[in-house]
Chains A and B, each alone.
Chain A
C-alpha cells in the first residue's frame, strides 16, 4: 500500500526567510506523480506544485520549489522569501495511475504540516 508521511506536524518561519517542509512516501511503482497542496484557513485546497517521477529536474513555481530524491523516496517543498499569505496547512500527495486495478489513479495524502509565518 502506498503511504505518504509528513513528519513535521508544525513548522514556523519568519517573513522573508526560507522554510523546507518534508515528505516521504512508500511505493513500489515506477510511474507516479507527486504534489504539494496548500490549505489556508479558508479550507480551499490549492495545488502548489507538481513533480513527475520520470523527470529528474526538480519542479519550480515562483517561490516554491521541490527537492525530489527518487531513490530516497523523498519530496520536500522549499518556500523562499516566505510571505504572510503562505501561512496554511500543506499536504504532500502521491498519485499513481490505475492503482490496484482500479480505473482511476489513486491520490494518497499525508497528514499535513501547519506552517506559521511570523512577521
Chain B
C-alpha cells in the first residue's frame, strides 16, 4: 500500500549489534503492527500499537522493543541482534474494515 513505507529495505548486521527498523504511514491509522515472516510460519505478530506511546506485545516479542512517539512512525528495535532474528519484517496499519495494509518489508540478515 502506497501509504505505508519501511526503511531500510535490506540490512545485514552482526550478532550483538543494535538494529532499528522504521515504519512510516501517511494514513493516520491508529493501529500499527510489526510482524516477522519465516518459512513454515506465515506471519507472526511481534508488537503492535494502538496509539501514540501505547504499545503491547504480540506472540513473538522476546528480544524486540518498539516505540511510537508520533502517529505516523512505529519503530522496531532489536537491542542485541541474534542469528535467530534473521527474517523478513513487515509493518502493517489497521484499515477501516478490520483489514490490515502492509508495508513492503525489510529483509534483515544477522551474521
Contact = CB atoms under 8 A, between A and B. Distances in A.
Interface stretch (B18-26, B41-49, B68-76, B77-85): B41-49
B27 interface: no
Contact of A45 (B45, B56, B102): B102
Interface in B93-111: 94-95, 97-102, 104-105, 107
A111 B41 contact: yes
Contact of B31 (A43, A45, A46, A104): A104
A91 interface: yes
A50 B40 contact: no
B45 A106 contact: yes
Interface of B: 31, 33, 40-45, 48, 50, 54, 56, 88, 90, 92, 94-95, 97-102, 104-105, 107
A111 B44 CA distance: 10
Given A45-B90, A109-B43, A112-B42, A104 B50 contact: yes
- Please indicate which of the listed interface residues B48, B88, B98, B104 has the most CB atoms of chain A within 10 Å of its own CB: B98
Interface of A: 4, 33, 35, 37, 42-47, 50, 91, 95, 97, 102-107, 109-112
B42 A95 contact: no
A35 B99 contact: yes
A50 B42 contact: no
Given A43-B104, A43-B105, A44-B105, A105 B41 contact: no
Contacts of B50: 103-104
